Structure 1
Amino acid sequence: MLSRYFIDRPIFAWVIAIGIMLAGIGAMLSLPIAQYPDIAPPGVGISATYPGASAETVETSVTQVIEQQLTGIDGLMYFSSSSSATGQSRITVTFQKGTDPDTAQVQVQNKVQQALSRLPSAVQQQGLSVTKQQTDFLMLVGLYDETDTATQADIADYLVNNFQDPIARIDGIGATQIFGSQYAMRIWLDPYKLAAVKLMPSDVQSAISAQNVEVSAGQIGADPAPVGQQINATVTARARLQTPDQFRKIIVKTQTDGSIVHLSDVARVELGNESYTTSARLNGHPASGIALQLAPGADALKTAEMVKAKVAELSSNLPHGYKVVYPRDTTPFIKLSVEEVIQTLLEAVALVVVVMFIFLQSWRATLVPAVAVPVVLLGTFGVLALFGYSINTLTLFGMVLSIGLLVDDAIVVVENVERIMEEEGLSPRDATIKSMEEIGSALVGIALVLSAVLLPMAFFGGSTGVIYRQFSITIVSSMLLSVVVALILSPALCATLLKGSDEEKRHKGWAGKFNRWFERMTDGYVRRTGKVMHRRKLFWGLYVVVLALLVLLFVRLPSSFLPVEDQGQVMVQVTLPAGAKSSRTSAAIDQVQNYFLNDEKDNVAFAFIMTGFSFQGQGENVGQGFINLAPWDDRKGIVNTAGSIAGRATKQLAAIRDAKVLAMTPPAIRGLGQSNGFTFELLNSGGLSRDRFLELRNQLIAAASKDPMLAGVRAATLEDTPQLKVNVDAEKLAVLGLTQANVDDVLSSAWGSTYVNDFVDRGRVKRVYMQADAPYRALPTDLDNWMVRSSSTGEMVPFSAFATTQWTMGPSTVSRFNGLSSFEIQGQAGDGASSGDAMDRMVELQKQLPAGTSYAWSGLSYQEQISGGQAPLLYALSVLVVFLCLAALYESWSIPLAVLFVIPLGLIGAVVAVWGRGLENNIFFQVGLLTTMGLAAKNAILIVEFAEMAHKQGKNALEAALEAAKLRFRPILMTSLAFIAGVIPLATATGAGAQSRVAIGTAVVGGMTTATLLAIFYVPLFFLTIARLFGSDKPHGAPPATTPDAGVPA
């Protein structure tokens, strides 16, 4: 026997235990720390720019061309795209979890290369980027001037020049986005001056390209050289221009009279912004920021630490008044939530030790299971390292749940040894040997059953499978290590630490009072168990009622993917009417900033706001705010949580005229959406016109806005905006000797923004842009100021001679999903409803629309949909594997039923507890259910194992069941109370990340409570019923007997 070997060699047992702990310590010090494992599926982003193009032009000329090539890519889950009126095309390709991000990027890059030749030349000139990325921001590095002397453009240029590239090169950063822009050389054209010298924008562009170049002039005396050559030197000639004065002197034309036309004669030249789309402020000061996206698979905490170290290094020489802040930083919440779980873990250990001491009443006996805690926990860290996992809230949750489990095995060992010592008067060594012969198989059986319950989780795929695996591997490895300790170290400790039973001590003081009370309770328990088996039909009927109640409550539980956490951040989205200028947006978002800095000043650390950007899209009529809240300890009470603050802000800021303001909290899992709530994709699967498709979208949003199960339902893209359409008469072009190419060139150069080439500014290469000066592109009539040169006459022809204009409405952003035109709709569950209820309701409303549309889910909602379908299969698979393990253990198809019947008795407690606290059926609840299933089965096994042994020794089924119930009553209560005590800190958690702890803790505490209180009565009944049903009630070699306690004939 394995235990006997180590009973005789206790030092060897200690060596093994110490080796496990040392391996665990080494692993613990090297494991990365994260809030969650890498749950979000990997993504690859494609970005392209078509300057001056409308959203529809970008969609048809760029986005669709690229999308058509996205076929035959391994692991592709879905892709989405947006084409904006700012000329931006962004495609996000999302892959199945487990896909190698590097391989995915290479495959996408190859597909983009196939489409490159079909893209407009302006797009190719700007360049395309293909990057590994996630869809949200890890953090936002902000820079502001507290003296208010610098402009937003000055700060943005400094940030780009000095911060962006060093930060972008940090390992773990997938992509960066600057809120603002660096300087650029701006050539502002004057149409009247151009016409006076018969020039078009293309002539100016050609002149700049020809004269702003670097010449490779070669060398003097380079080989092969004449014999005797004595000198070798590099020849330098023209270099790129560097200052506005140098650009002003560019010669754009030489007149017939010999006079020279310089660039300054037809344009205004200045050092301006590369882009004027966004501006930012922090607490009222001019600011700029760099948003950082985490690369797939990167360690968030480690990457953030490297970013902050690099920023600290770069900040050593900041200009006077410049300050660095982090308006959005997810890492404090990650650190604090992990610290809270670690504190819960320590509290659980302390409570478990206290419970063990109360029952064992001896520090020597308590030391045996207490020693198992560090050995198993540290050993579990070693297993996590082998699987490449991290220290995160999920693995730590698994360890908290494991504490009660891992001491169970050692408690069973020491309790049984003490019982044998007391009843049979054996020495500690002999009692330990006999005890291990009795319970060794039960310990293995418990380990098999718990592993069978939890191990199937490890084989589920997708992001949900990642969460399940963290729990599965952690708890199963803890259980297996616990059994190893219980079979190797615990017997050795019992044989060497325990002393003979001290009857006098057991009957004195608090221990004596406790033991006398517990003996009376045990006698009462046995009598009541006898009555239960005497009234078998009644209690089987009650069991059926419990099953019905379980089903009824379970189907009525609201569902969600993950609980909503207070992450210390609030995001604000501001939208003004289509066509609104940035000045109006700036005025509105200033009111948003003032609200948070004044009305919520006790809850807000600082507010970073910007115009021209939002998660809806880019445009002058949108804005976005990142509100960094005060520390959690300074925001006590539910009214000061992030969710409450966001809710109040949305209501109060609704009073801002002409602005729609929505405050929201970040998503539960970084990388799965931009905010909490659902993400619904309405697809144009019927080839509807855009106007009809838009009409149906508005119809759906209107219906959803009236539904009490839904809240905050909104379009995730910007509304259509006024557009000025230029209609060119092709026949007039031909008559006037004009070409369509020249007309298009004048339009795009004047009203758009043409990238010419590069220049050097303080040692850094920057861009040169050419565009009409602001007064000549302010009104529709300004189009007539622009002229095109006739190729036949050489005269300048105004646009009024061949073109007309008209106002239309067009999209500012065109979205697509999986190759179909789409509208993304976001929202949250209404009061009293769950995210699952909200998702179901959205599907119902979509099905009520006329034909031509379909739907899909993305982001967190996509994962929630998958997880909802996996849960029933997971439960069924776990029960099946448990049954097969028990059948193999007992060599019986019937006895395992006595164990399986107890599982609903645990589930009812979990469901009632969660329902009673108003919680939801989410992944943490599902893990809690599976844990409860294993624990309920464990208690049943302790009784069934001893009942089966007694039955084989000659007792009938009734006697065997009652004897087993009496013998195992104390260890079952002790192990169950120890486990419940260990999990109570989860169920009562507060602070960062509390909702997740509460979700799993409530389910397990409720489930374990009923699994203990009901199972101790029902397991003997199940054993007796199965024995009689399958004809194994007769004793082996003994006549029928009567049990006086129960008053029931055998």
Structure 2
Amino acid sequence: MGEFNHLDQIREVVIARRAGNRLYLRDIAQVVDSHEDERIITRFNGEPCVKLSVFKEAEANTVEVALAVETQLDELDPVLPEGLELGFVENQADYVAGALAGVRDAAIGAMVLLVLVVWLFLGSFRQVVVMIVALPLTLIINFGLMKVAGFSLNIFSLGGLVVAIGVVLDNSIVVIENISRLRHERPDQASDQHAIGGSAEVGPAIVAATVSFLALFVPFLLVPGLTSLLFRELILVIAGIVIISLAVAVTLTPMLVTIFFGRSTQRRNATRFERFFDRFTDGYGWLLDLALHAPGAVAITFVAVLGLALFAMGRVGGEFLPPIDDGRIMVKVIMPTGAAVRETDKVLRQIEQRLADDPLIESTFAMAGGQVMGLYTYEVANQGQIDIQLVPKSNRDIGTTDYVTRLQPIVAQATAFGGRIMARQMPIKGIHGLRAAEVVVEIRGQEMDSLADLAERTAETMAGMSGFRNVAVSMDITKPEYQVRVDRTKAAELGISVADISGTLRSLITGAVVSRFRQAGEYYDMRMLVPESQLTSRRQVENLVVSGSGGDAIRVRDVANVRQAVGPLEIVRKNQVKQVSVEASTANVDLATAMATLRTTLKNIDRPAGYEFGFGGQAELMAD
């Protein structure tokens, strides 16, 4: 009851009665059945699509959630209308599974190689068996501790296992070798005495070696910022497995040696490798004797090698994280301010057409008029983005970074349609700081005009340097707008506040939901707004009507001054100070070298008093 079921019912609504005449809604407004403005356009592999993002809870496992979503989609497939398909634009579980598989294979390969090396040097299969028993036991105990600590198997925890495996075997190798030596030197002693004596002799040494090894990693836990959070699991896993291996080496390993070797002291014939290694040992002894008799030469050699190492270290570049060849590329399009979403989409289509027949591309996802930030997609009509996924690394002979370089001519051709276009490799998913550009120059000051001028000069300087590309200023002050400056005295005399004026103008321009319309069991918003065709000039804005306190109609021009101007899309402040950023990617140079060159260059740029440069992005993370 009281609901609208047809547009004619809405048109016939009586607005007022005057002198016996009725004023209907259709007399003063158009009532049309339309749809919300298409502000964001999306396509997957060139076909229109709707993107639905699924985010896991903080404690949930990425792979398990992805499998559950895939199961639900499989159940939906049979009931989908004809012509509709469900597919994955991006599945983070694929990257997780691929990374885990790579680290897992590396760990297994490392274990096999280590066992082979042990067998080659120790020459006894029984000793290898002791190692094979000790290694999985150490890992099992460590997995239990990881479960208690709430850790999961990821690239960092598995990486910690790979790093620690060598130390796990080192401790046991030292104990086994020393017990074997005592067995041959003291054949009359009991096996348990060999085990106790051999372990006691090297016990302090392997404890000191283990603590020294931990001292290399544990201090990283004290490093502030993202580095500590990123490598926390890796460091704790290394610490846990090394401590466990120490306990196994001085308890389980001696017992296993006693069980497997018993009282047998028969010495087998030396193998060819052992004879070679004996000659190598003799040579090392000769060299060591020579070094002991010439300490001055040793000291000079040490200083020379140290100096050479320091010199070489200064020539080695630096980055926050190494590039990952996962085949994910982003092409960003920024059109002039005021461009409609259709104009942005036109440029995206041109790029898509140029990439359509490339066999190295597995999929593309294009979005015009939107910008993804965290969990939300914001409407930005003049911006668009194409996410490119290359085929698996095994099916292409070019890396992601090289492919980005190959994209540059295509991007250059598309710029003929207007706007600014940038192509770069996408950052690692899930690490917030990496979503920023590699290099971000933060310019801080008080006046927007001075900030804009300094930012433009900085961007021109960086664009002329060989180590940077995709240089862009974060602030755009070319947004056309009508500025309404309210005369507070006149407004007070007419009984209207600044808040009333701004609220009314916002409702008239962007639309206000005044009721709901029901059709086929569904409810739709009824939105009242002024058509865009009636807001194309300053005079039309001045003639907009707002209501005074007594219901009187007051035109905007009677209480405010309207002028056409341009202004920034947004104003960013850092520590209460206005800031404009200049962003860029590195080109054919490492991040550390690029930043060193940039810092030197920025010192030569004139800037007003009170204005300063700072740095953000991945360069800031690397510095921390």
Give the TM-score normalised by structure 1. Answer: 0.54
Q: Contact between 1:788 and 1:798, CA under 8 Å: does it hold in 2?
A: yes
Q: Contact between 1:432 and 1:491, CA under 8 Å: does it hold in 2?
A: yes
Q: 1:290: Cα distance to partner?
A: 3.2
Q: 1:807 to 1:613 in 2, by over 3 A?
A: same
Q: 1:533: Cα distance to partner?
A: 0.9
**Does residue 348 of structure 2 align to residue 589 of structure 1?**
yes
Among 45, 49, 53, the alignment partner of 1:283 is 45
* Matched residue, 2:419: 659
**Does residue 480 of structure 2 align to residue 722 of structure 1?**
yes
Distance 1:769 1:643 in 2: 48
**Does residue 324 of structure 2 align to residue 556 of structure 1?**
no
Q: 1:244: Cα distance to partner?
A: 4.2
**Does residue 226 of structure 2 align to residue 470 of structure 1?**
no
Query: What percentage of residue pairs aligned between the two structures are identical?
Result: 23
Q: Contact between 2:333 and 2:420, CA under 8 Å: does it hold in 1?
A: yes
Distance 2:192 2:501 in 1: 101
* Matched residue, 1:837: 593
* Matched residue, 2:566: 809
**Does residue 25 of structure 2 align to residue 262 of structure 1?**
yes
Distance 1:254 1:373 in 2: 92
* Matched residue, 2:385: 624
Give the TM-score normalised by structure 2. Answer: 0.87
Q: Contact between 1:571 and 1:664, CA under 8 Å: does it hold in 2?
A: yes
Q: 1:766 to 1:629 in 2, by over 3 A?
A: farther
Counterpart of 2:431 in structure 1: which amino acid? G
* Matched residue, 1:949: none
Q: 1:719: Cα distance to partner?
A: 5.0
Bigger mean CA offset, 421-430 vs 566-575: 421-430
In the TM superposition, what whole-angstrom CA distance separates every residue of 1:134-156 from its partner, at most 9, and x where no partner exists? xxxxxxxxxxxxxxxxxxxxxxx
Q: 1:740 to 1:672 in 2, by over 3 A?
A: closer
**Does residue 292 of structure 2 align to residue 533 of structure 1?**
yes
Paired residue secondary structure (1:713): strand
Distance 1:256 1:501 in 2: 124
Q: 1:823: Cα distance to partner?
A: 1.9
Q: Contact between 1:567 and 1:666, CA under 8 Å: does it hold in 2?
A: no
**Does residue 136 of structure 2 align to residue 380 of structure 1?**
no
Distance 2:200 2:131 in 1: 19
Distance 1:624 1:442 in 2: 59
For CA contacts below 8 A with separation 6 or more, give which structure has more relative contact order. Answer: 1
Among 837, 850, 863, the alignment partner of 2:621 is 863
Q: 1:725: Cα distance to partner?
A: 4.0
Superposed, 1:629-778 pairs within 5 Å as 629-635=390-396, 637=397, 639=398, 641-656=399-414, 657=416, 658-668=418-428, 670-673=430-433, 675=435, 677-678=437-438, 680=440, 682-685=442-445, 687-688=446-447, 690-718=448-476, 720-725=478-483, 747-756=505-514, 758=516, 767-778=525-536
Q: Contact between 2:442 and 2:616, CA under 8 Å: does it hold in 1?
A: no
Q: 1:537 to 1:792 in 2, by over 3 A?
A: closer
Q: Contact between 2:168 and 2:241, CA under 8 Å: does it hold in 1?
A: yes
Q: Contact between 1:650 and 1:661, CA under 8 Å: does it hold in 2?
A: no
Q: Which residues of structure 2 form unaligned runs of 5+? A: none
Q: Which residues of structure 1 form unaligned runs of 5+? A: 1-236, 867-1050
In the TM superposition, what whole-angstrom CA distance separates every residue of 1:698-721 from its partner, at most 9, and x where no partner exists? 111112222233332222354522
* Matched residue, 2:104: 342
In the TM superposition, what whole-angstrom CA distance separates every residue of 1:753-808 from its partner, at most 9, and x where no partner exists? 234355556666654322223433345565477566899997x7877888876432
Superposed, 1:33-432 pairs within 5 Å as 238=2, 241=4, 244-263=7-26, 266-273=29-36, 275-291=37-53, 299-312=61-74, 317-426=79-188, 428-432=191-195
In the TM superposition, what whole-angstrom CA distance separates every residue of 1:196-255 from its partner, at most 9, and x where no partner exists? xxxxxxxxxxxxxxxxxxxxxxxxxxxxxxxxxxxxxxxxx54x5466455444332334
Q: 1:336: Cα distance to partner?
A: 0.1
Distance 1:326 1:487 in 2: 52
Distance 2:130 2:31 in 1: 86
Counterpart of 1:815 in structure 2: which amino acid? V
Q: Contact between 2:440 and 2:617, CA under 8 Å: does it hold in 1?
A: no
Q: 1:284 to 1:653 in 2, by over 3 A?
A: same
Counterpart of 2:530 in structure 1: which amino acid? A
Counterpart of 1:775 in structure 2: which amino acid? S
* Matched residue, 1:613: 370
Bigger mean CA offset, 434-443 vs 529-538: 434-443
Q: 1:327 to 1:818 in 2, by over 3 A?
A: farther
Among 447, 453, 470, the alignment partner of 2:210 is 447
Q: Contact between 1:653 and 1:661, CA under 8 Å: does it hold in 2?
A: yes
Paired residue secondary structure (1:259): strand
Q: Contact between 1:252 and 1:263, CA under 8 Å: does it hold in 2?
A: no
Distance 1:436 1:457 in 2: 32
Distance 2:492 2:155 in 1: 71
Q: 1:310: Cα distance to partner?
A: 4.8
Q: Contact between 1:330 and 1:567, CA under 8 Å: does it hold in 2?
A: no
Paired residue secondary structure (1:506): coil
**Does residue 580 of structure 2 align to residue 820 of structure 1?**
no
Q: 1:263: Cα distance to partner?
A: 4.9
Q: 1:414: Cα distance to partner?
A: 1.9
* Matched residue, 1:144: none
Q: Contact between 1:672 and 1:859, CA under 8 Å: does it hold in 2?
A: no
Counterpart of 1:559 in structure 2: which amino acid? G
Q: 1:301 to 1:818 in 2, by over 3 A?
A: farther
Q: 1:596 to 1:423 in 2, by over 3 A?
A: same
Counterpart of 1:391 in structure 2: which amino acid? L
* Matched residue, 1:574: 333
Counterpart of 2:420 in structure 1: which amino acid? K
Distance 2:367 2:340 in 1: 14
Distance 2:233 2:493 in 1: 74
In the TM superposition, what whole-angstrom CA distance separates every residue of 1:690-744 from its partner, at most 9, and x where no partner exists? 1111111111111222223333222235452222445778899899999978865
Counterpart of 1:634 in structure 2: which amino acid? N
Q: Contact between 2:433 and 2:621, CA under 8 Å: does it hold in 1?
A: no
Bigger mean CA offset, 251-260 vs 524-533: 251-260
* Matched residue, 1:494: 257
Q: 1:670: Cα distance to partner?
A: 2.0
Q: 1:576: Cα distance to partner?
A: 1.5
Distance 2:105 2:122 in 1: 26
Q: Contact between 2:423 and 2:470, CA under 8 Å: does it hold in 1?
A: no
Distance 2:170 2:260 in 1: 19
Counterpart of 2:356 in structure 1: which amino acid? L
Distance 2:42 2:143 in 1: 45
Q: Contact between 1:646 and 1:665, CA under 8 Å: does it hold in 2?
A: yes
Distance 2:618 2:10 in 1: 51
* Matched residue, 2:219: 456
Q: 1:418: Cα distance to partner?
A: 2.3
Q: Contact between 1:682 and 1:853, CA under 8 Å: does it hold in 2?
A: no
Q: 1:541: Cα distance to partner?
A: 0.8
Distance 2:547 2:199 in 1: 102
Bigger mean CA offset, 277-286 vs 308-317: 308-317
Bigger mean CA offset, 454-463 vs 571-580: 454-463
Distance 2:360 2:121 in 1: 47
In the TM superposition, what whole-angstrom CA distance separates every residue of 1:977-1021 from its partner, at most 9, and x where no partner exists? xxxxxxxxxxxxxxxxxxxxxxxxxxxxxxxxxxxxxxxxxxxxx
In the TM superposition, what whole-angstrom CA distance separates every residue of 1:856-877 from its partner, at most 9, and x where no partner exists? 55554443222xxxxxxxxxxx
Superposed, 1:960-1039 pairs within 5 Å as none
CA RMSD in angstroms comes to 3.4
Q: 1:539: Cα distance to partner?
A: 0.8
Q: Contact between 1:578 and 1:621, CA under 8 Å: does it hold in 2?
A: yes
